[in-house]
Amino acid sequence: MRVVFAGTPEFSVPCLEACRASGAEVVAVYTQPDRPAGRGRKLTPSPVKQAALGAGIPVEQPETLKTIEARETLAAYRPDLMVVVAYGLILSRKVLAIPRLGCWNVHASLLPRWRGAAPIQRAILAGDTESGVDLMQMEAGLDTGPVLLERRTPITREDTGGSLHDRLSQLGAEALTEGLRRAMAGESLRAKPQPEDGVIYAHKLEKAEARLDFSCAAIALERQVRAFDPWPVAEGDLAGENVRIWAAHALDENHRGTPGHVIAAQRDGIDIACGEGVLRVTSLQRAGGKRISAADYLNARPELRGAR
């Protein structure tokens, strides 16, 4: 089976490796053009491009797939199947029709919930207790295609955007491996249409969403902190200083404090009054500094110890 793989971020790399390990022939990799990154804003290849070059696979980086030239280049690879994992470009009907078996997509949610750009973080923000990956037969709509295979995983209160990302990335590779194995054995995978009810869109993350509003319930703020680790990282005012908050958990406690005020501070955490409950901050970062524990922060601000 001749496979063209399309993906860009680190999330996609295990699926690229699954394609290579399956016995299929990965004839080309499509990925986003190199983008400026880091303090020097140097053009940097995507994680998928780096993996493809390391494996000696031809790489294509078109700005768009809407041109005739781009479609002719894709068709010249004579793909039986195109596998798309967080690629970043919309595929038109003309592109979807090029591979003999169409295009498969690995999506990081249990469809139709959380179609769109940021399903992992939106699931945590919403307080979902379960997530997963769907291997989907692509069609022209945004994440609307029928589901071929599914893998599920619980979301715990210890999960962050980063930990759930990594777990779903591996589950996606497992689902893709099974799909490729069965397809290469001549099996036709049953495509299950998505339900019409329960459609929710996971809109792209905005950095402004990471600002904590302590008039909200502590459990909602805990979810923000978890969802936005490792990006864009929650931030808020702590006793007059703006800090990034890397880790915190909600306490179901009554208090008389004004939301946003520190009501207790000890080595195991700094307690901030919320509109409902208390948020205990355990890991944070000062401007220009590195991530530190609450105990280290209190060493720098001893006046907060024992706050009431």
- What is the 8-class DSSP label of residue 135? E
3-state secondary structure of 211: strand
Residues that constitute the known binding site: 109-112
Query: How far apart are alpha carbons 243 and 161 in whole angstroms?
Result: 19
Query: How far apart are alpha carbons 306 and 265 in whole angstroms?
Result: 5
Query: How far apart are alpha carbons 173 and 158 in whole angstroms?
Result: 23
Burial of 229 (0-12, 13-18, 19+ CB in 10 A): buried
Residues that constitute the known binding site for (6S)-5,6,7,8-tetrahydrofolate: 109-112
Residue type, 112: P
Q: Which two tokens stand for residue 44?
A: 């940097």
List, in sequence order, every beta strand (DSSP E) within the chain.
2-7, 25-30, 35-37, 42-44, 59-60, 81-85, 103-107, 113-116, 130-137, 147-154, 200-202, 234-238, 241-251, 262-266, 269-273, 278-285, 291-293
If one counts every other C-beta atom within 10 angstroms of the C-beta of residue 35, the result is 12
